[in-house]
Chain A
Amino acid sequence: MAQRSEFTAPNAYTYDQRSVPRWVFSHIRRYWYFALSFYFFFLIAWSCYAGTQVLIGRAVDEIISPSGPSGLMVITLIILSVMVGDGLSGLLGSLSAENVAARFEADARQEFYENLLSKSKGFHDRQRAGDIMARATDDTSQLSHMIAPGITLVSETVMGIVIPLIYIAFIRLELLLVPLCFVAAYIVTAKTYVRRLNPVVHDQREQFGAMNAGLEETISGIEVVKASAREGFEREKFRRNARLFRDFFVRQGYIEARYLPLLLYGIALGLSFLHAMWLYRQGSIQIGQVIAVVGLVNVLRFPTFISIFAFSLIQSGIASANRILKIVRAETDLDENSGGHAAQMRGEIVFEHVGFSYQESGVGSRESGANVSASQPGPLPGPTPDSQPPTPVLADISFRIAAGQTVAIVGQTGSGKSALTQLVNRTYDVGDGRVLIDGVDVRTWSLDSLRSQIGKIEQDIFLFSRSIADNIAFGAPDASREQVIVAAQAAQAHDFISTFPDGYDTVVGERGMTLSGGQRQRIALARAFLSDPRILILDDSTSAIDSATEDQIQQAIRKAQEGRTVLLITHRISQIRWADLILVLEGGRITAAGTHEELLVSSPHYRRIFARYDADLPPLEPAAAEDAALRAA
């Protein structure tokens, strides 16, 4: 299926994303010459290393031969050059592999990053930032560990077993008996070992996390703990966790202590020796060859013992690749509709019997982020018990907003306020009914034309780690400093910006100066003034601490309302009070709609807000409610 993409990097290398093995392979193939050189050099290295044992055996024969050690010097020099050759080719092979590993990590990250940029805004709204972060950093570095030391060690295991066995076979084929039995027994016992160890390691890791999280919670809530005199309870909670952890720790110790392959190896060494001496006694091999066999069996030690570690690295690498590809291959569900309706927007918004519910949330966004040390994908942490069809977030919503009006949406958390605004700029598409802008269904509009004329100021305003001027001019990089200042003045931001030593060049955001919620909001408003959208969605939940700030925010929002349609989610009663239309949402339905005066007489809910102020309220007229709702539709 063709990807719908909002961004394509120029001259990007394309990888095969159809499946995890294909994807990993296509990344490695990009540097096939390095991969090849790794195998080439490591074959040499292992042949040298194992060959040394044979040469040492030769040397023995040379030493004890009655004809004198005339060849000893030659053999010594051969041993030296073979061992140096082992070191050098090992070095070259390692560098090749490390190069591929490092590039795989960087390339995969770049591919992932490009893909993130190509995804729609709606897609990103549904992802948790921490989750994406984990994939872009931990998982990509896990990929590089999968190459080196993961795949390299597995390759070494194979070479490190096969090559000594070949040498042994050349000495005497029947000498393979014991080593082959050992390798077979090793595979069986190592598998059993891993099968027993893995769950305990997993439990232990989980328990450590639980212990940490529990204590962290106690300490974060220490005021409550102390004020409720519940230290004893919290102490017991921690002790329970710590004791459980100790049990897992000890059990892991038991299992690790009983690592059978090590015992098998000791026995195999004895038996190989027995076999070789037996053949020596029969006169079919030399004493030097006995020594060579012992040396070669010794070589088997390293590859067999490293393989468990290597396989677990590959396992977690595959799990990481899966997590990355899952995001990469996720379909963005909104259509660009680039050939759609494109026009200068006036700003009339009509909802006709709109119903909406969130679909399956994103791509595995529930899945716990990449675990660096995770050795296997494992099952997802307990599925939430609710697998019933999602409850509708919005149901049968109908209203009409004339161009240029300001509409305040009032309701408790979870009543559907945000969802309602998200349907306007097509962050999501409606389930039922339709949303019309200037009489045209939003799905008929070209997405680009639609979004470019709808501005949105989110509840959490994000500022890039750049200067204030760059942040204000983010959508209009060509704006002059004068234009930036004019926008800032309109947003009531100029005054506080001027108090900073670096003024508009002050760097803000995560790696810069921290601004208060009210300040960030005014910068976002300035940004909106520069880009001048026809419809502005303002999720205004910042609270003013003092009256002076409140005055400024009020003025800035007033200014923003001039000449455009504004959808306002706000907690400011003064904003609600003066909106052209107020929609009261309860549980996804509009229960009242109208102006302040109308709602005071029609909506008991709305009245309660003002009752707190001891205001003189007109008498409640329940009939008026239906009137108002009808007119809104």
Chain B
Amino acid sequence: MGFLFDGLDAEEYDRSYSDGDLVRRILGYFRPQARKMGLAAAMIACAALLDAGIPIFIARSIDTLRADTTISRIALTALALAALGATSWVFNMVRQTLAAQAVGDVVLKMREDACDSVLRRDMSFYDQYASGKIVSRVTSDTAAFSQVMNLSMELISRLLLVFALVGYLATVSLKLTGILLALAPLIVGAALAFRAIARRTITASRRMNAEVSGHIQETVSGIGVAKTFRQEPAIYAEFVRVNGQSLRVNRRTRYVFSSIFPILNILAGIGTAALVYVGGMDVRDGAITAGTWFLFIQGLQSIWFPLTSIASFWSQFQIGLAAGERVFGLIDAEPRVIQTDDVKLPALRGEIRFENMDFSYKAGSRDLGVGSRGDGLSQGSENPSTFEGTLLQPLTPDSRLLTPEWVLKDFSLHIRAGETLALVGHTGSGKSSIAKLVARFYEFQGGRISIDGVDIRRLNLESYRSRLGMVTQTPFLFDGSVRENIRYGRPDAGDAEVLAAARHVGGDEWIAALPRGLDTQVGERGSGLSMGQRQLVALARVLLQDPAIIILDEATASVDPLTEVLIQEGLDTVLAGRTAIVIAHRLSTVRHANRIIVLRKGAIIEEGSHGGLLAADGHYAELYNTYFRHQSLEYIEQARKAA
């Protein structure tokens, strides 16, 4: 059941791989399973032949047994019939077992390949695609693609059954076979017409359901407001309207879906009646036997169901291939950050030098390429119009065609080992890009970046990054305990070291405030902790790594003043004695930095200390008045007068 309803929600996809390519690729994955699949195919053929044989056998038996009614003959026939059914069952069992193993292994291999490929990519890839989309390519699309194989096997077994049966019937009576076959286009036609209608109604239903969900979502989220202001009747009236509409649309869809089988039954009835009459006359004339007549009537019932499933095969097949294309698009793409050597720095000092470097997010990208057009999964920037400079525009699929937009052009900067450097500037000035290039998250296009005098492109990334610490605005924690999170960058660290790191960033107070101390579960993405607590965990995590270089994108997210104090004090200890690049949002950080770099449109326009730059009354002074003034004590003391 249900084949008729499968694949109705297929979307259109632009495709870059041809069907042939995709089929070849999947066959490649199935090659290690060749023996199992070959065996399974043989089982399919045998089972189909046996299944076709059962009605034939019954029909023949009716003829022979009418003539010969010895007990042994009857018993033998019945036994043979049961054996036929049992053998077919065994073949099917072996086939399904083999197929489950083969498909399971193929999907596993595809998933592993896809996941490896994802982890190899550089950050530009992750900026471009929402995590949910990437995950569904690795997990769901691989499963959908492998279904192509199952689907094809099912179809082949059904077609084999139909061909075997019809082939045999044709040898018995061409006339009756003709009647049977005349019915086939009617059945397939009805099935196709039904699918066309069903597709339309199901789209309408889906849209309507989304509207109902949207309405409920809004009510549920805003119910507090609605209740405070006593607006329930108005909201209820609106809901009743939308819900009524949804009832009508959904009911129509249900009507369409439930009407197809009765209609097919009526068609089958017409065919049966024709066979009963024409075949009956033939029996009378002696052209065929009564058994053959019965065989045709049974045969009609055996083939009409496989015929309806052919109608749904093609669109399901296409869904499977589209999924395959998304998977292979993911596997085939190359990362853009490529290391040319494998230098391991024995002891990282933390001296960083940019020399005439050019960088653009949009230059020469070879991205997912295939498949990325169809599903438009580019991710919007989450931070509109803020001071902070996260990633610039998300890449558009057509970005390859654009000339590079330089974020940093001919950029030179020397950061001494152990220095705390604050970067300030408006959104898009290139602050974050500098930090991310140091982490080697992106490839640059010209010039050179060196760490302790070694070209960053020649470093062994694993050893380099293990001495690099990074704390972002909204620190990410993994589901698990606080302890596990602190240990993330250094899995071999002992409990004492973890505790020491935690104490170091915020004293005992914050650990005591956690419900179960360091064993507190942080929840999904750290949602069980407050933003301030998450920042403290992230700081401890970085501290435990004992990094030589720290990159800090300070949070603008508001934290209660008491926690804020803790974080600030934690920061002071973490930054001491290390090279630190701080994208500064807090006045106190800026003031305490060794050096402030003022950026505008990818260029350094001012440089110096807080006091000196403020006195110079240049771009920094303007930035101060725009972003930092309200964090100053003067402002706080003046707040009452300002109002």
Cβ–Cβ contact B277 & A228, under 8 A: no
**Pick from B116, B255, B265, B627: contact of A86, CB under 8 Å:** B265
Q: Would you call B336 an interface residue if the criterion is a C-beta within 8 Å of the partner chain's C-beta atoms?
A: no
Task: Name the residue on B nearest A223 (C-beta).
Answer: B472
Residues of B within 8 A of A36 (CB): none
Cβ–Cβ contact B281 & A554, under 8 A: no
Cβ–Cβ contact B273 & A83, under 8 A: yes
**Pick from A266, A413, A458, A511: contact of B88, CB under 8 Å:** A266
Q: Give the distance to chain B from A575, nearest Cβ to Cβ, in Å.
A: 7
Q: A56-B297, A253-B100, A462-B225 are in contact. Are A410 and B562 (CB under 8 A)?
A: yes
Cβ–Cβ contact A228 & B112, under 8 A: no
Most chain A beta-carbon neighbours within 10 Å: one of B88, B104, B489, B491: B104
Residues of A within 8 A of B561 (CB): 410, 571, 573, 576, 609
Q: A227-B470, A249-B100, A257-B96 are in contact. Are A101 and B280 (CB under 8 A)?
A: no
Give CA–CA (A76, B541) in the complex, Å.
83
Q: Give the distance to chain B from A65, nearest Cβ to Cβ, in Å.
A: 10
Summarize B's interface: helix, strand, loop or mixed: helix
- Digitize A210-237: 1 where CB-to-B-CB distance is under 8 Å, 0 elsewhere: 0111011111111111111111011100
Q: Would you call A543 an interface residue if the criterion is a C-beta within 8 Å of the partner chain's C-beta atoms?
A: yes
Cβ–Cβ contact B466 & A229, under 8 A: yes
Q: Would you call B493 an interface residue if the criterion is a C-beta within 8 Å of the partner chain's C-beta atoms?
A: no
Task: Name the residue on B nearest A252 (C-beta).
Answer: B100
Cβ–Cβ contact B126 & A219, under 8 A: yes
Give CA–CA (A225, B485) in the complex, Å.
12
Q: Would you call B415 an interface residue if the criterion is a C-beta within 8 Å of the partner chain's C-beta atoms?
A: no
Cβ–Cβ contact B85 & A263, under 8 A: yes
Cβ–Cβ contact B630 & A551, under 8 A: yes
Residues of A within 8 A of B234 (CB): 477
Q: Would you call B615 an interface residue if the criterion is a C-beta within 8 Å of the partner chain's C-beta atoms?
A: no
Residues of B within 8 A of A114 (CB): 236
Give CA–CA (A47, B460) in the complex, Å.
77
Q: Would you call B71 an interface residue if the criterion is a C-beta within 8 Å of the partner chain's C-beta atoms?
A: yes
Task: Name the residue on A nearest B514 (C-beta).
Answer: A414
A65-92, CB < 8 A from B: 68-69, 72-73, 75-77, 79-80, 82-84, 86-88, 90-91
Q: Give the distance to chain A from B270, nearest Cβ to Cβ, in Å.
A: 7
Q: Would you call A14 an interface residue if the criterion is a C-beta within 8 Å of the partner chain's C-beta atoms?
A: no
**Pick from B79, B123, B643: contact of A554, CB under 8 Å:** B643
Task: Name the residue on B nearest A97 (C-beta).
Answer: B258
Q: Give the distance to chain B from A190, nearest Cβ to Cβ, in Å.
A: 15
Cβ–Cβ contact B258 & A543, under 8 A: no
Q: Give the distance to chain A from B234, nearest Cβ to Cβ, in Å.
A: 8
Cβ–Cβ contact A605 & B562, under 8 A: yes
B216-236, CB < 8 A from A: 216-236
Give CA–CA (A188, B639) in the complex, Å.
79
Residues of B within 8 A of A9 (CB): 236
Q: Give the distance to chain A from B545, nearest Cβ to Cβ, in Å.
A: 7
Cβ–Cβ contact B111 & A269, under 8 A: no
**Pick from A106, A222, A246: contact of B123, CB under 8 Å:** A222
Q: A60-B293, A229-B462 are in contact. Are A246 and B488 (CB under 8 A)?
A: no
Residues of A within 8 A of B132 (CB): 216
Cβ–Cβ contact A235 & B105, under 8 A: no
Cβ–Cβ contact B636 & A98, under 8 A: no
Residues of B within 8 A of A571 (CB): 558-561, 564
B256-275, CB < 8 A from A: 257-259, 261-263, 265-266, 268-270, 272-273
**Pick from B75, B266, B294, B476: contact of A291, CB under 8 Å:** B294
B455-475, CB < 8 A from A: 461-466, 468-470, 472
B553-567, CB < 8 A from A: 556-565
- Digitize A478-510: 1 where CB-to-B-CB distance is under 8 Å, 0 elsewhere: 000000000000000000000000000000011
Residues of B within 8 A of A215 (CB): 115, 134-135, 138-139
Residues of B within 8 A of A573 (CB): 561, 636
Q: Would you call B27 an interface residue if the criterion is a C-beta within 8 Å of the partner chain's C-beta atoms?
A: no
Could you tell me how many residues of chain A have their Cβ less than 8 Å away from some Cβ of chain B?
A: 171
Q: A224-B476, A411-B562 are in contact. Are A577 and B637 (CB under 8 A)?
A: yes
Cβ–Cβ contact B276 & A113, under 8 A: no
B56-95, CB < 8 A from A: 58, 61-62, 65-66, 69, 71, 74-75, 77-86, 88-89, 92-95
Cβ–Cβ contact A113 & B236, under 8 A: yes
* Stretch with Cβ within 8 A of A (4 or more), from B14-22, B206-214, B598-606: B206-214
Give CA–CA (A269, B513) in the complex, Å.
72
Cβ–Cβ contact A227 & B468, under 8 A: yes
Summarize A's interface: helix, strand, loop or mixed: helix
Residues of B within 8 A of A274 (CB): 74-75, 77-79
* Stretch with Cβ within 8 A of B (4 or more), from A25-33, A121-129, A364-372: A121-129
Q: Would you call A133 an interface residue if the criterion is a C-beta within 8 Å of the partner chain's C-beta atoms?
A: yes
Cβ–Cβ contact B488 & A224, under 8 A: yes
Cβ–Cβ contact B78 & A270, under 8 A: yes
Q: Give the distance to chain B from A608, nearest Cβ to Cβ, in Å.
A: 5
Residues of B within 8 A of A443 (CB): none
Q: Would you call B25 an interface residue if the criterion is a C-beta within 8 Å of the partner chain's C-beta atoms?
A: no
Q: A90-B262, A129-B220, A257-B100 are in contact. Are A208 and B488 (CB under 8 A)?
A: no
- Digitize B144-175: 1 where CB-to-A-CB distance is under 8 Å, 0 elsewhere: 00000000000000000000000000000000
Q: A148-B258, A294-B58, A571-B561 are in contact. Are A121 and B224 (CB under 8 A)?
A: yes
Q: A281-B69, A291-B294 are in contact. Are A220 and B476 (CB under 8 A)?
A: yes
Cβ–Cβ contact B639 & A64, under 8 A: no
**Pick from A90, A116, A605, A610: contact of B220, CB under 8 Å:** A116
- Digitize B519-534: 1 where CB-to-A-CB distance is under 8 Å, 0 elsewhere: 0000011000010110
Give CA–CA (A632, B466) in the complex, Å.
53
**Pick from A246, A267, A545: contact of B627, CB under 8 Å:** A545
- Digitize A394-432: 1 where CB-to-B-CB distance is under 8 Å, 0 elsewhere: 000000000000000011111000000000000000000
Give CA–CA (A113, B439) in the complex, Å.
51
Q: Would you call B414 an interface residue if the criterion is a C-beta within 8 Å of the partner chain's C-beta atoms?
A: no
Cβ–Cβ contact B58 & A273, under 8 A: yes
Residues of B within 8 A of A56 (CB): 272, 276, 294, 297
Q: Would you call B244 an interface residue if the criterion is a C-beta within 8 Å of the partner chain's C-beta atoms?
A: yes
Q: A56-B276, A113-B236, A510-B214 are in contact. Are A412 and B489 (CB under 8 A)?
A: no
Q: Give the distance to chain A from B39, nearest Cβ to Cβ, in Å.
A: 14
Q: Give the distance to chain B from A451, nearest Cβ to Cβ, in Å.
A: 7
Task: Name the residue on A nearest B79 (C-beta).
Answer: A270
Task: Name the residue on B nearest A129 (C-beta).
Answer: B220
Q: Give the distance to chain A from B108, nearest Cβ to Cβ, in Å.
A: 4
Q: A281-B74, A547-B626 are in contact. Are A109 and B243 (CB under 8 A)?
A: yes
Give CA–CA (A62, B293) in the complex, Å.
13
Residues of A within 8 A of B628 (CB): 547
Task: Name the residue on A nearest B92 (C-beta).
Answer: A257
Q: Would you call B198 an interface residue if the criterion is a C-beta within 8 Å of the partner chain's C-beta atoms?
A: no
Give CA–CA (A548, B280) in the complex, Å.
94
Give CA–CA (A476, B92) in the complex, Å.
70
Residues of A within 8 A of B243 (CB): 106, 109-110, 113
Residues of B within 8 A of A256 (CB): 96, 100
Q: Would you call B403 an interface residue if the criterion is a C-beta within 8 Å of the partner chain's C-beta atoms?
A: no
Residues of B within 8 A of A306 (CB): 1
Q: Give the distance to chain B from A604, nearest Cβ to Cβ, in Å.
A: 11
Give CA–CA (A256, B243) in the complex, Å.
40
Q: Would you call A595 an interface residue if the criterion is a C-beta within 8 Å of the partner chain's C-beta atoms?
A: no
Residues of B within 8 A of A309 (CB): 1
Give CA–CA (A381, B271) in the complex, Å.
54
Q: Would you call A474 an interface residue if the criterion is a C-beta within 8 Å of the partner chain's C-beta atoms?
A: yes
Q: Would you call B254 an interface residue if the criterion is a C-beta within 8 Å of the partner chain's C-beta atoms?
A: yes
Residues of B within 8 A of A267 (CB): 82, 85-86
Give CA–CA (A120, B227) in the complex, Å.
8
Given contacts A148-B254, A226-B123, A256-B96, 16 further A-B contacts (CB under 8 A): A62-B280, A72-B276, A88-B262, A91-B262, A94-B259, A105-B247, A113-B216, A117-B232, A129-B220, A266-B84, A281-B71, A451-B228, A547-B625, A547-B635, A551-B642, A578-B639
The 7 closest A-B pairs by CB, nearest first: A266-B85, A253-B100, A83-B269, A270-B82, A274-B78, A475-B229, A413-B530
